[in-house]
Structure 1
Amino acid sequence: MKLTAEALQQALLNTADQIEQQKDELTDLDREIGDGDHGINMSRGFQALKKELQGKDPFEDLGELSKLVGMTLIKTVGGASGPLFGTVFVKFASKWNGKEAVEGDQLYDGFREAVEGVAARGKSQTGQKTMLDVWEPFTEALMGAEPLETVIENALADTKELKATKGRASYFGDATKGVQDPGALSSSILLRQIAEVLNG
């Protein structure tokens, strides 16, 4: 599996379109176990990102692209998600600076750095019903043979059944069981697009 700067750019544009299509679903989920603004916030951030990326020459540096994405999302998403999604790309940038493409260990190391960055920023760990519950298994699967799409599906199914013990959702206690975490769902939208370009 190989990730080029151009492929990541395309995956992000596709993500912006998918988030727009699922904006209402993300917001409805967040109304159930959050403060009801996740879809709106993610839409705003990714539409701003789309403006930044659309019509630009293909990026040749994964670090440069990732840094732009991270800064844009931190500035425009708002809520708790802006810093968390932004952190993913800021961490990618730190590992992939000056590289046009990454595969194998370099690809994995970027994702591992991102996962650890999100855990530190959110003071969270896997099993607490957050976006980490999708990012962690996806990252580990980069070094395995299981299809990434299957890993994402399974991670979402597992996350849905968890009881939230972190963030705003934790106030809802047992009522969060059986409701999908909005951050996990929006993460899966992004990771599906990345998986698609990784599989060429």
Structure 2
Amino acid sequence: MKLTTEGLKTALLKTADQIEKQKDELTDLDREIGDGDHGINMSRGFTAVKKELEDKDSFADLGELSKLVGMTLIKTVGGASGPLFGTVFVKFAGKWNGKSFVEGDELYDGFKEATDGVAARGKSKAGQKTMLDVWEPFTNALKGDEPLETVIEKALADTKELKAEKGRASYFGDASKGLQDPGALCSSILLRQIAEVLNG
């Protein structure tokens, strides 16, 4: 599995389109266990990312691309999601600076750094019904043989059954079980596009 600068750019443009399509679904989920703005916020952020990517012909490497995406998301998304999704790409940038592609350990290390960064920023860990419950299994799967698509599906299903322990969703306690976390769903949209690129 190899991630190139062009591949990541493609995945991000497709993510922007898909989030736009699922914007209302993400917002409806957030109304159930959050403050009802996740879809709107993520749509705004990825629309801005898409514009930045389309305005620039090429990127020197994965680091430059990731940094631009991270900063754009932090500036435009708002709420808790902006800093969390932004952190993913800022951490990618740190690990992949100067590299036009990554595979093997370098690919894994970038995702591990991003996942750890989200955990630190959100003061959370896997099992608390957050986006981490999708990022962590995906990252671990980069070292295994299970198809990434299967891992994402299973992670989403598992996350749905968890009790929320973080953020506004935690106020709902046991009532949050059986409802999908919007951050986890949004992460799955992005990771599916990345998986598609990785699988060639």
| TM-score bin (small chain) | over 0.9
> C-alpha distance in 1, partners of 2:58/2:137?
30
Counterpart in the other structure of 2:178 = 178
Deviation at 1:58, TM superposition (A): 3.1
Counterpart in the other structure of 2:27 = 27
Preserved CA contact (<8 Å) 1:63 1:92:
yes
Counterpart in the other structure of 2:79 = 79
RMSD: 0.6
Deviation at 1:49, TM superposition (A): 0.5
Counterpart in the other structure of 1:93 = 93
Identity between Structure 1 and Structure 2 (%): 86
Where 2:166 maps in the other structure, the secondary structure is coil
> C-alpha distance in 2, partners of 1:182/1:25?
9
Deviations 1:153-196 (A, max 9, x none): 00000000000011110011111100000000000000000000
Preserved CA contact (<8 Å) 1:9 1:59:
no
Give the structure-1-normalised TM-score.
0.99
Preserved CA contact (<8 Å) 1:127 1:162:
yes
Counterpart in the other structure of 1:102 = 102
Q: How does 1:1-200 map to 2 (within 5 A)?
A: 1-200=1-200
AA at the equivalent of 1:99: K
Preserved CA contact (<8 Å) 1:6 1:60:
no
> C-alpha distance in 2, partners of 1:189/1:5?
19
Give the structure-2-normalised TM-score.
0.99
Corresponding residue pairs, total? 200
Deviation at 1:198, TM superposition (A): 0.5
Preserved CA contact (<8 Å) 1:9 1:58:
no
Deviations 1:40-84 (A, max 9, x none): 000000000010001532324000000000000000000000000
Consecutive unaligned residues of structure 2, counting only runs of 5 or more, are none
Where 1:163 maps in the other structure, the secondary structure is coil
Preserved CA contact (<8 Å) 1:156 1:184:
yes
AA at the equivalent of 2:119: A
Deviations 1:121-152 (A, max 9, x none): 00000000000000000000001100000000
Runs of 4+ with deviation above 2 angstroms: none
Consecutive unaligned residues of structure 1, counting only runs of 5 or more, are none
